[in-house]
A and B are shown apart, each in its own frame.
Chain A
Amino acid sequence: MRIFSSLLIGVLFGIGLTISQMINPEKIINFLDIAGNWDPSLLVVMGSALLTTMIGYRLAFRRKDPVLGGVFQIPTKTAIDRPLVIGSAIFGIGWGLAGFCPGPGISAASVGGVMPWAFIGAMTLGMWSRSFVKA
Protein backbone atom coordinates (compact mmCIF):
# COMPACT_ATOMS: atom_id res chain seq x y z
CA MET A 1 0.00 0.00 0.00
CA ARG A 2 2.82 2.40 0.86
CA ILE A 3 4.60 1.48 -2.36
CA PHE A 4 1.46 1.77 -4.49
CA SER A 5 0.57 5.15 -2.97
CA SER A 6 4.12 6.31 -3.64
CA LEU A 7 3.69 5.40 -7.32
CA LEU A 8 0.46 7.42 -7.58
CA ILE A 9 1.98 10.37 -5.71
CA GLY A 10 4.95 10.27 -8.10
CA VAL A 11 2.54 10.31 -11.04
CA LEU A 12 0.78 13.35 -9.54
CA PHE A 13 4.13 15.15 -9.14
CA GLY A 14 5.05 14.31 -12.73
CA ILE A 15 1.68 15.49 -14.07
CA GLY A 16 2.28 18.78 -12.26
CA LEU A 17 5.72 19.09 -13.87
CA THR A 18 4.29 18.23 -17.29
CA ILE A 19 1.30 20.61 -17.18
CA SER A 20 3.49 23.48 -15.98
CA GLN A 21 6.01 22.66 -18.77
CA MET A 22 8.82 22.33 -16.27
CA ILE A 23 10.01 19.29 -18.24
CA ASN A 24 10.98 21.64 -21.09
CA PRO A 25 14.61 22.81 -20.66
CA GLU A 26 13.98 25.76 -22.98
CA LYS A 27 11.40 27.08 -20.52
CA ILE A 28 13.71 26.62 -17.52
CA ILE A 29 16.58 28.37 -19.26
CA ASN A 30 14.28 31.23 -20.31
CA PHE A 31 13.38 31.62 -16.64
CA LEU A 32 17.03 31.69 -15.59
CA ASP A 33 17.90 34.14 -18.39
CA ILE A 34 16.89 37.32 -16.60
CA ALA A 35 18.89 39.44 -19.05
CA GLY A 36 17.09 37.94 -22.03
CA ASN A 37 13.47 37.23 -22.91
CA TRP A 38 12.52 36.47 -19.29
CA ASP A 39 9.80 33.87 -18.60
CA PRO A 40 8.70 34.03 -14.92
CA SER A 41 6.53 30.87 -15.13
CA LEU A 42 8.86 28.87 -12.84
CA LEU A 43 8.31 31.42 -10.08
CA VAL A 44 4.56 30.84 -10.29
CA VAL A 45 5.09 27.05 -10.27
CA MET A 46 7.31 27.27 -7.22
CA GLY A 47 5.09 29.80 -5.47
CA SER A 48 1.91 27.79 -5.88
CA ALA A 49 3.68 24.55 -4.95
CA LEU A 50 5.10 26.25 -1.86
CA LEU A 51 1.78 27.71 -0.78
CA THR A 52 0.04 24.34 -1.15
CA THR A 53 2.82 22.52 0.70
CA MET A 54 2.96 25.06 3.54
CA ILE A 55 -0.76 24.73 4.21
CA GLY A 56 -0.83 20.97 3.65
CA TYR A 57 2.18 20.25 5.88
CA ARG A 58 0.52 22.15 8.73
CA LEU A 59 -2.53 19.96 8.42
CA ALA A 60 -0.47 16.77 8.02
CA PHE A 61 1.65 17.50 11.10
CA ARG A 62 -1.45 17.63 13.28
CA ARG A 63 -1.19 13.86 13.13
CA LYS A 64 1.35 12.01 15.24
CA ASP A 65 2.28 9.57 12.48
CA PRO A 66 1.84 9.17 8.73
CA VAL A 67 -1.47 7.62 7.67
CA LEU A 68 0.14 4.50 6.19
CA GLY A 69 2.44 3.88 9.15
CA GLY A 70 6.06 4.61 9.96
CA VAL A 71 7.23 7.98 11.21
CA PHE A 72 7.52 11.47 9.71
CA GLN A 73 11.08 11.58 8.34
CA ILE A 74 12.09 15.22 8.72
CA PRO A 75 15.69 16.41 8.24
CA THR A 76 17.13 17.43 11.60
CA LYS A 77 20.29 19.22 10.46
CA THR A 78 20.23 22.98 10.98
CA ALA A 79 23.85 24.05 10.44
CA ILE A 80 24.64 26.14 7.36
CA ASP A 81 27.82 24.29 6.40
CA ARG A 82 30.22 24.21 3.47
CA PRO A 83 28.78 21.11 1.75
CA LEU A 84 25.33 22.74 1.71
CA VAL A 85 26.51 25.96 0.09
CA ILE A 86 29.14 24.48 -2.24
CA GLY A 87 26.84 21.62 -3.26
CA SER A 88 23.97 23.99 -3.98
CA ALA A 89 26.23 26.28 -6.01
CA ILE A 90 27.43 23.29 -8.08
CA PHE A 91 23.84 22.13 -8.47
CA GLY A 92 22.84 25.56 -9.80
CA ILE A 93 25.64 25.55 -12.40
CA GLY A 94 24.45 22.12 -13.57
CA TRP A 95 20.84 23.26 -13.63
CA GLY A 96 21.73 26.29 -15.74
CA LEU A 97 23.78 24.20 -18.19
CA ALA A 98 21.33 21.30 -18.56
CA GLY A 99 18.01 23.09 -18.10
CA PHE A 100 16.95 20.09 -16.07
CA CYS A 101 16.83 19.39 -12.37
CA PRO A 102 16.35 15.75 -11.28
CA GLY A 103 12.53 15.48 -11.40
CA PRO A 104 11.94 17.03 -14.82
CA GLY A 105 14.89 15.06 -16.26
CA ILE A 106 13.23 11.80 -15.26
CA SER A 107 9.78 12.81 -16.47
CA ALA A 108 11.11 14.09 -19.79
CA ALA A 109 12.84 10.76 -20.41
CA SER A 110 9.56 9.04 -21.30
CA VAL A 111 8.68 11.50 -24.08
CA GLY A 112 11.77 13.58 -24.88
CA GLY A 113 14.09 11.40 -26.95
CA VAL A 114 17.74 10.69 -26.13
CA MET A 115 18.81 13.97 -24.45
CA PRO A 116 16.99 13.36 -21.13
CA TRP A 117 18.59 9.90 -20.94
CA ALA A 118 22.03 11.47 -21.42
CA PHE A 119 21.16 13.82 -18.57
CA ILE A 120 20.03 10.96 -16.30
CA GLY A 121 23.17 8.93 -17.06
CA ALA A 122 25.43 11.87 -16.24
CA MET A 123 23.39 12.74 -13.13
CA THR A 124 23.73 9.16 -11.89
CA LEU A 125 27.51 9.33 -12.31
CA GLY A 126 27.51 12.68 -10.53
CA MET A 127 25.58 11.23 -7.60
CA TRP A 128 28.04 8.38 -7.33
CA SER A 129 30.99 10.76 -7.57
CA ARG A 130 29.76 12.39 -4.36
CA SER A 131 31.19 9.44 -2.44
CA PHE A 132 34.70 10.40 -3.59
CA VAL A 133 34.49 14.08 -2.71
CA LYS A 134 35.41 15.31 0.73
CA ALA A 135 33.79 18.61 1.72
Chain B
Amino acid sequence: MENFTPVSAAIGGTLIGLSAVLFMLLNGRIAGISGLVAGVLTPSEKGNDFWISGAFVVGLFIAPLIVMVTSDRPPINFPQPLWMVVVGGFLVGMGSRLGSGCTSGHGVCGIARLSRRSIIATLTFMISAVITVFFVRHVMGG
Protein backbone atom coordinates (compact mmCIF):
# COMPACT_ATOMS: atom_id res chain seq x y z
CA MET B 1 0.00 0.00 0.00
CA GLU B 2 2.96 2.33 -0.48
CA ASN B 3 0.97 4.25 -3.12
CA PHE B 4 -1.72 5.22 -0.62
CA THR B 5 -2.10 9.02 -0.40
CA PRO B 6 -4.82 9.59 2.21
CA VAL B 7 -4.17 13.30 2.89
CA SER B 8 -4.33 14.57 -0.70
CA ALA B 9 -7.25 12.17 -1.25
CA ALA B 10 -9.20 13.66 1.67
CA ILE B 11 -8.47 17.25 0.61
CA GLY B 12 -9.36 16.57 -3.02
CA GLY B 13 -12.48 14.62 -2.07
CA THR B 14 -13.69 17.43 0.17
CA LEU B 15 -13.25 19.93 -2.69
CA ILE B 16 -15.21 17.63 -5.00
CA GLY B 17 -17.98 17.43 -2.40
CA LEU B 18 -17.95 21.19 -1.92
CA SER B 19 -18.31 21.62 -5.67
CA ALA B 20 -21.26 19.22 -5.76
CA VAL B 21 -22.95 21.12 -2.92
CA LEU B 22 -22.40 24.55 -4.50
CA PHE B 23 -23.74 23.33 -7.85
CA MET B 24 -26.94 22.25 -6.12
CA LEU B 25 -27.18 25.26 -3.81
CA LEU B 26 -26.56 27.87 -6.52
CA ASN B 27 -27.80 26.22 -9.72
CA GLY B 28 -30.05 23.43 -8.50
CA ARG B 29 -28.13 20.84 -10.50
CA ILE B 30 -26.64 17.41 -9.78
CA ALA B 31 -22.89 17.46 -10.42
CA GLY B 32 -22.94 14.33 -12.57
CA ILE B 33 -20.22 14.72 -15.16
CA SER B 34 -21.56 12.18 -17.67
CA GLY B 35 -24.93 13.98 -17.60
CA LEU B 36 -23.26 17.36 -18.04
CA VAL B 37 -21.18 16.11 -20.98
CA ALA B 38 -24.29 14.60 -22.54
CA GLY B 39 -26.01 17.95 -21.99
CA VAL B 40 -23.34 19.55 -24.15
CA LEU B 41 -23.40 16.86 -26.85
CA THR B 42 -27.17 16.65 -27.09
CA PRO B 43 -28.49 19.99 -25.84
CA SER B 44 -32.08 19.90 -24.71
CA GLU B 45 -34.71 22.46 -25.61
CA LYS B 46 -34.29 24.05 -22.19
CA GLY B 47 -31.58 26.20 -23.78
CA ASN B 48 -29.86 27.70 -20.80
CA ASP B 49 -28.80 24.30 -19.51
CA PHE B 50 -26.46 23.87 -22.45
CA TRP B 51 -24.31 26.78 -21.32
CA ILE B 52 -24.40 25.79 -17.65
CA SER B 53 -23.26 22.26 -18.55
CA GLY B 54 -20.69 23.58 -21.01
CA ALA B 55 -19.22 26.03 -18.50
CA PHE B 56 -18.82 23.25 -15.90
CA VAL B 57 -17.04 21.03 -18.42
CA VAL B 58 -14.71 23.88 -19.44
CA GLY B 59 -13.97 24.44 -15.74
CA LEU B 60 -13.03 20.78 -15.33
CA PHE B 61 -10.73 21.01 -18.33
CA ILE B 62 -8.79 24.08 -17.18
CA ALA B 63 -8.55 23.07 -13.49
CA PRO B 64 -5.24 21.12 -13.75
CA LEU B 65 -3.65 24.13 -15.47
CA ILE B 66 -4.63 26.28 -12.48
CA VAL B 67 -3.17 23.71 -10.06
CA MET B 68 0.05 23.77 -12.09
CA VAL B 69 0.52 27.48 -11.33
CA THR B 70 1.55 26.55 -7.80
CA SER B 71 2.72 22.95 -8.13
CA ASP B 72 4.31 20.46 -10.51
CA ARG B 73 2.58 18.86 -13.46
CA PRO B 74 0.29 16.16 -12.04
CA PRO B 75 1.38 12.65 -13.04
CA ILE B 76 -0.80 10.99 -15.68
CA ASN B 77 0.41 7.50 -16.49
CA PHE B 78 -1.21 4.74 -18.48
CA PRO B 79 -0.27 1.21 -17.51
CA GLN B 80 -2.36 -0.08 -20.43
CA PRO B 81 -2.19 0.22 -24.25
CA LEU B 82 -4.12 2.81 -26.29
CA TRP B 83 -6.71 0.36 -27.59
CA MET B 84 -7.86 -0.36 -24.04
CA VAL B 85 -8.30 3.34 -23.35
CA VAL B 86 -10.36 3.71 -26.53
CA VAL B 87 -12.56 0.65 -25.98
CA GLY B 88 -12.92 1.66 -22.34
CA GLY B 89 -13.88 5.20 -23.31
CA PHE B 90 -16.61 3.92 -25.61
CA LEU B 91 -18.04 1.67 -22.91
CA VAL B 92 -17.84 4.48 -20.33
CA GLY B 93 -19.84 6.72 -22.65
CA MET B 94 -22.45 4.12 -23.52
CA GLY B 95 -22.75 2.68 -20.01
CA SER B 96 -23.07 6.03 -18.28
CA ARG B 97 -25.97 7.08 -20.51
CA LEU B 98 -27.71 3.73 -20.28
CA GLY B 99 -27.23 3.65 -16.50
CA SER B 100 -28.10 7.36 -16.09
CA GLY B 101 -24.88 8.32 -14.37
CA CYS B 102 -21.25 7.77 -13.48
CA THR B 103 -18.88 7.96 -10.53
CA SER B 104 -19.86 11.55 -9.70
CA GLY B 105 -23.60 11.49 -10.39
CA HIS B 106 -24.33 8.12 -8.80
CA GLY B 107 -21.25 7.59 -6.62
CA VAL B 108 -21.22 11.00 -4.93
CA CYS B 109 -24.40 13.01 -5.54
CA GLY B 110 -26.80 10.05 -5.69
CA ILE B 111 -25.52 8.21 -2.64
CA ALA B 112 -25.47 11.53 -0.74
CA ARG B 113 -29.23 11.67 -1.37
CA LEU B 114 -29.44 8.01 -0.27
CA SER B 115 -30.91 7.13 -3.68
CA ARG B 116 -31.40 3.38 -3.98
CA ARG B 117 -30.77 3.54 -7.73
CA SER B 118 -27.43 5.24 -7.17
CA ILE B 119 -26.33 2.80 -4.48
CA ILE B 120 -27.12 -0.16 -6.80
CA ALA B 121 -25.43 1.57 -9.74
CA THR B 122 -22.28 2.35 -7.75
CA LEU B 123 -21.97 -1.19 -6.35
CA THR B 124 -22.52 -2.58 -9.86
CA PHE B 125 -19.86 -0.51 -11.60
CA MET B 126 -17.35 -0.97 -8.74
CA ILE B 127 -17.72 -4.74 -8.96
CA SER B 128 -17.58 -4.89 -12.76
CA ALA B 129 -14.53 -2.58 -12.79
CA VAL B 130 -12.70 -4.71 -10.21
CA ILE B 131 -13.47 -7.87 -12.20
CA THR B 132 -12.29 -6.18 -15.41
CA VAL B 133 -8.97 -5.12 -13.89
CA PHE B 134 -8.51 -8.55 -12.32
CA PHE B 135 -9.06 -10.13 -15.72
CA VAL B 136 -6.71 -7.73 -17.52
CA ARG B 137 -3.91 -7.85 -14.93
CA HIS B 138 -4.02 -11.33 -13.50
CA VAL B 139 -5.73 -13.52 -16.11
CA MET B 140 -4.52 -11.93 -19.36
CA GLY B 141 -1.38 -10.90 -17.50
CA GLY B 142 -1.27 -7.38 -18.93
Binding site for B on A (CB under 8 A): 2-27, 29-30, 32-42, 44-54, 56-57, 59-60, 63, 65-68, 70-75, 77-80, 83-103, 105-113, 115-116, 118-130, 133, 135
Contacts and interface: CB of A to CB of B under 8 A. Distances in A.
Contact of B132 (A48, A67, A97, A106): A97
Interface size class, chain B: 35 or more
Contact of A129 (B53, B75, B93): B93
Question: What's the dominant secondary structure at chain B's contact region?
Answer: helix
Contact of A91 (B6, B53, B125): B125
Question: What's the dominant secondary structure at chain A's contact region?
Answer: helix
Contacts of A20: 5, 8-9, 11-13, 16
Interface of B: 1-6, 8-31, 33-34, 37-38, 41-42, 48, 51-53, 55-68, 73-80, 82, 84-100, 102-104, 106-113, 115-117, 120-122, 124-134, 136-138
B80 A97 contact: yes
A14 B26 contact: no
